[in-house]
């Protein structure tokens, strides 16, 4: 064993312990992620009480992304996911995020302090999402793609859950925040009894230079480039699909309520869980690069098509759900690729570094969409999002040809 490293979790883990540990992790992740998109779901309810400036709408969503970038950057530099018990890091982050989200119900909906609290919430989410993937990786035994796919599926359902709350007309934006806070707190508590798998290697010391490993290693660099292309599309779609669907419904019927559009948004986003699970199962058998290239090609096609379908509600709903499935089907496989390409003692740090870069990209795309909509309409805005999957396909095709790709999915490139 490398000096300064020690293995946690024992030598032989019974199947029952793995099942229990993963079940608790998935449930905790689902519940804890509710705080992330609470503001995106609350925007429609806030609009019914007061007008919102476009910049305010953007900041309510992008401020969480900005905080997440800061949090993942700090976590990567300090190697937190590889140096400390990931369950405690997850629980502490979730508890603080819950308190911050609950406090939003006591404040004006759009004020500088509100934006600041959303930034801090994003900072906390850096201790939940990548740390959860780190925990899942400790249980992997020739099924890493499926395990991280299951975790991303849980993340997707959790992120969509505030939209389900928003579908109830009388709940109000304060109720959305309080419901999301309660969910996140439950997730923080549930992670503590979850077990750790036998493949957790913890680094005892701090080495700031290890952060650069994500960029010096060519194979890791390509996997990260593919992830950034994927992220250019995904979170901008999640942030603005609901607004597009509500405007489309209002354009067809000015008297239509917001409930049906919010419900469709929930199903479109939550359907990504199916994509994540299916993508993980296929990637372990067909290959990481094969699945990521196929999923990005499909999601990019949906991005190009959906803006033209506002007047065709049935087809619009089908494409929205297909977009939700395909846009997430590849997500877990970028993290799984990093886990397989990185040194074992750096897996947590490399996954966190990857998410930091990807979410930095989302800040640009989330802010860009409303400007494009204002200038050119939804069709052009969503078409620009398709550029990300196109670039991601190119990066993963390059990775597929790299010699290190033989380490992916037990040789399944």
The two most distant CA atoms of the chain are separated, in Å, by 68
Residue 113: its pLDDT value, please? 92
Residue 393: its pLDDT value, please? 97
In a domain, 3, yes or no: no
What are the tens digits of pLDDT across the range 118-164?
999 999 998 998 888 788 878 877 777 778 788 888 888 887 888 77
Tell me how far apart the alpha carbons of residues 329 and 291 are, in angstroms, rounded to a whole number: 8
Tell me how far apart the alpha carbons of residues 56 and 20 are, in angstroms, rounded to a whole number: 42
7 membership: H or E segment, kind and range: strand 5-8
What are the tens digits of pLDDT across the range 240-250?
898 899 888 88
In a domain, 25, yes or no: yes
| pTM listed for this prediction | 0.76
In a domain, 134, yes or no: yes
What are the tens digits of pLDDT across the range 272-283?
889 988 888 888
How would you classify the pairing of strands 5-8 and 200-203? antiparallel
Backbone angles phi, psi at 84, to 5 degrees: -125, 165
Tell me how far apart the alpha carbons of residues 23 and 51 are, in angstroms, rounded to a whole number: 42
Q: How many domains does the chain have?
A: 1
What average pLDDT score do residues 208-225 get? 75
In a domain, 203, yes or no: no
Buried b (16+ CB within 10 A) or exposed e, 304-328: ebbbebbeebeebbebbbbbbbbbb
* Structural domain boundaries enclosing 249: 13-194+216-405
Report DSSP letters for 132-192, one per residue: HHHHHHTT-SS-HHHHHHHHHHHHHHHHHHHHHHHTSTTSHHHHHHHHHHHHHHHHHHHTT
In a domain, 5, yes or no: no
Which DSSP category does 63 fall into? Answer: H
Q: Dihedral (C-alpha) 344, 210, 397, 140: value to the nearest 10 degrees?
A: 20
Q: Dihedral (C-alpha) 177, 180, 181, 187: value to the nearest 10 degrees?
A: -170
Report DSSP letters for 211-249, one per residue: GGHHHHSHHHHHHHHHHHHHHHHHHHHHHHHHHHHHHHH
Average the pLDDT over each of 45-49, 94-98, 238-242 and give the range with the smallest value.
Answer: 45-49
Q: What is the mean pLDDT of the chain?
A: 84
Q: Which residues, other chains included, contact 293 with Cβ-Cβ below 8 Å and sequence gap of 6+?
A: 393, 396, 397, 400
CA 119 from chain centre, in angstroms, equals: 16
Average the pLDDT over each of 150-159, 205-214, 337-346 and give the range with the smallest value.
Answer: 205-214
Q: What is the band of 395 on the pLDDT scale with cuts at 50, 70, 90?
A: very high
In a domain, 236, yes or no: yes
In a domain, 205, yes or no: no
CATH code at 71? Answer: 1.20.1250.20
Residue 52: its pLDDT value, please? 76
What average pLDDT score do residues 113-122 get? 93
In a domain, 207, yes or no: no
Apex 108 CA angle, 112 and 72, nearest 5: 45
CA 164 from chain centre, in angstroms, equals: 18
Residue 201: its pLDDT value, please? 62
Tell me how far apart the alpha carbons of residues 66 and 68 are, in angstroms, rounded to a whole number: 5
By the 8 A CB rule, do 329 and 148 touch? no
- The residue among 110, 62, 72 whose CA lies nearest residue 93 is 72
Tell me how far apart the alpha carbons of residues 363 and 335 are, in angstroms, rounded to a whole number: 20
């Amino acid at each position: 064993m490398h000096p300064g490293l020690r293995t946690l979790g024992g030598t032989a883990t019974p199947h029952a312990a793995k099942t229990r540990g993963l079940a608790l992790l998935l449930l905790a992740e689902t519940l804890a992620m509710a705080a992330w998109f609470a503001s995106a779901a609350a925007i429609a309810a806030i609009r019914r009480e007061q007008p919102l400036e476009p910049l305010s709408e953007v900041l309510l969503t992008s401020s969480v992304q900005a905080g997440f970038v800061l949090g993942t950057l700090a976590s990567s530099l300090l190697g937190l996911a590889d140096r400390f018990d990931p369950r405690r890091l997850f629980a502490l982050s979730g508890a603080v995020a819950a308190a911050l989200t609950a406090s939003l119900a006591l404040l004006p909906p759009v004020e500088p302090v509100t934006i600041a609290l959303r930034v801090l919430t994003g900072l906390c989410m850096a201790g939940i999402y990548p740390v959860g993937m780190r925990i899942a990786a400790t249980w992997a035994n020739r099924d890493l793609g499926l395990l991280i796919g299951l975790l991303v599926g849980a993340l997707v359902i959790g992120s969509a859950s505030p939209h389900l709350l928003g579908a109830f007309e009388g709940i109000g934006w304060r109720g959305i925040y309080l419901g999301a806070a309660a969910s996140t707190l439950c997730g923080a508590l549930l992670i503590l009894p979850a077990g750790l798998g036998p493949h957790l290697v913890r680094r005892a010391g701090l080495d700031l230079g290890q952060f650069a490993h994500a960029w010096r290693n060519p194979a890791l660099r390509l996997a990260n480039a593919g992830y950034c292309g994927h992220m250019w599309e995904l979170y901008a779609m999640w942030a603005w699909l609901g607004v597009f669907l509500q405007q489309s419904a209002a354009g067809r019927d000015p008297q239509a309520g917001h409930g049906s559009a919010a419900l469709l948004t929930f199903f479109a986003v939550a359907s990504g869980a199916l994509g994540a699970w299916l993508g993980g199962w296929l990637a372990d058998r067909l290959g990481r690069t094969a699945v990521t290239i196929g999923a990005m090609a499909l999601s990019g096609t949906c991005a190009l098509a959906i803006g033209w379908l506002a007047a065709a509600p049935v087809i619009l709903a089908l494409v929205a759900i297909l977009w939700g499935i395909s846009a997430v089907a590849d997500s877990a496989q970028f993290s799984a690729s990093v886990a397989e390409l990185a040194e074992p003692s750096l897996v947590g740090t490399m996954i966190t570094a990857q998410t930091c870069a990807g979410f930095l990209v989302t800040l640009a795309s989330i802010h860009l969409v409303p400007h494009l909509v204002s200038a050119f309409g939804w069709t052009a805005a969503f078409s620009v999002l398709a550029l990300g999957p196109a670039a991601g396909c190119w990066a993963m095709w390059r990775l597929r040809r790299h010699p290190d790709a033989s380490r992916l999915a037990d040789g399944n490139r």
